[in-house]
Amino acid sequence: MNRLAPLSLVAMAVLWGSSLVVMKDLLGAMDATDLVFSRFAIAAVALLVIVPHALRMSRRTLGQGVLLGLVFVLGQLTSTWGLVDIDASISGFLTGLYIVATPLLAWVVLGARPSRNVWTAVGLSTLGLAALSLGSTGSGIGRGELLTLLGALAYAAHIIAVGHVVTPRTALSLTLVQTITIAVVSGIVAIPHGVALPDSAGLWWELAYLAVICGALPLALQVWAQAHVEATKAAIVMGTEPLWGALFAISMGGESLTLRLLLGGTAITAAIALVIVPRGRWRGRVTAARRGRPSSARGRVVPRIQQDAARVPAESA
């Protein structure tokens, strides 16, 4: 079954890449907060129907799932709000910066010092961000770019948290609780202005695709795969997500392959590659929290985020 995990990650990256085009289209007819709420409410119902046994869990797992959901909904709301103001292709590349943000955040949280490759990646990311944002706003980083970057930081935090708590036994339960938490929180945020739903069959089909195929399914695949695939291998596959997003945006979303997108996207892709395929190793060591935890275990999550924090990435849409 472990051999299916890398294929699951490939499918997840493709689906998340395709979601940006669908989201951009729906944002022309729906408020961003309404979209997040509707998407994950449908996803939660779908999961309850498909895997009702996932409701059987310990209080510890329930609490972990709620915490993961709170972190993930921050990423969903901010990146969706950001998508209102920027192209889907640019959103994909900027969201992909969670891969670069992950080792930096792990440095702050876990005390593992980044390698030279990571700092080089930060420089390349900055150049890529400048190329993408200066060309789109004409004056600098705008609201859409800032919100999307905040979403990328939230996704990085989510990756680190998932790597610490998920096991094959709790993967489905954590997925279900996360999805319900996202729906509840985004619903609360949407209440003040009222929730407006799609007004046509076509938009409902798009929303269903976004909720089930690009929402519940990829989240389940990610949580399950991170319980079976070491961080390095997972990161290599997940790092292709921005490329899939740009491909769908250009081929199906009507966006153009401009010089700005080519230069900025290339710089960010190079930064991602430096992080997920490092030549060196982290020089930092695991903090006190690492002590007493197994360094590896068959059928369990290997908490390599602390051991190899630079090679952890995974996420988005």
**In contact, 173 and 119? CB cutoff 8 Å:** no
For 65, the token pair is: 């799932």
Out of 7-11, 177-181, 249-253, 269-273, the most confident range is 177-181
Distance CA 26, CA 61 (A): 34
Amino acid at 263: L
3-state helix, strand, coil in the chain (%, to 5): 75, 0, 25
Contacts 24+ apart (CB under 8 A), 305-308: 305/106, 305/110, 305/159, 305/160, 305/163, 305/164, 305/231, 306/106, 306/110, 306/112, 307/282, 308/231, 308/232, 308/281, 308/282
pLDDT tens-digit map of 249-262: 887 777 777 777 78
Q: Residue 61: is its pLDDT beyond 60?
A: yes
Average pLDDT over residues 157-183: 88
pTM value is 0.75
Q: For residue 201, what is the enclosing H or E element?
A: helix 201-208
Task: Provide the pLDDT confidence category of residue 56 given band limits of 50, 70 and 90.
Answer: very high
Average pLDDT over residues 52-75: 94
What per-residue confidence (pLDDT) applies to 289?
36
Task: Provide the pLDDT confidence category of residue 278 given band limits of 50, 70 and 90.
Answer: low
**In contact, 277 and 118? CB cutoff 8 Å:** no
Q: Residue 296: is its pLDDT beyond 70?
A: no
What per-residue confidence (pLDDT) applies to 176?
92
**In contact, 303 and 293? CB cutoff 8 Å:** yes
Out of 35-49, 218-232, 292-306, the most confident range is 35-49
What per-residue confidence (pLDDT) applies to 165?
87
Out of 43-52, 178-187, 268-277, the most confident range is 178-187
**How much is the mean pLDDT over the chain?**
77
What per-residue confidence (pLDDT) applies to 314?
38
Which of 40-54, 153-167, 296-310 shows the lowest per-residue confidence on average (mean pLDDT)? 296-310
Task: Provide the pLDDT confidence category of residue 315 given band limits of 50, 70 and 90.
Answer: very low
For 82, the token pair is: 């950001």
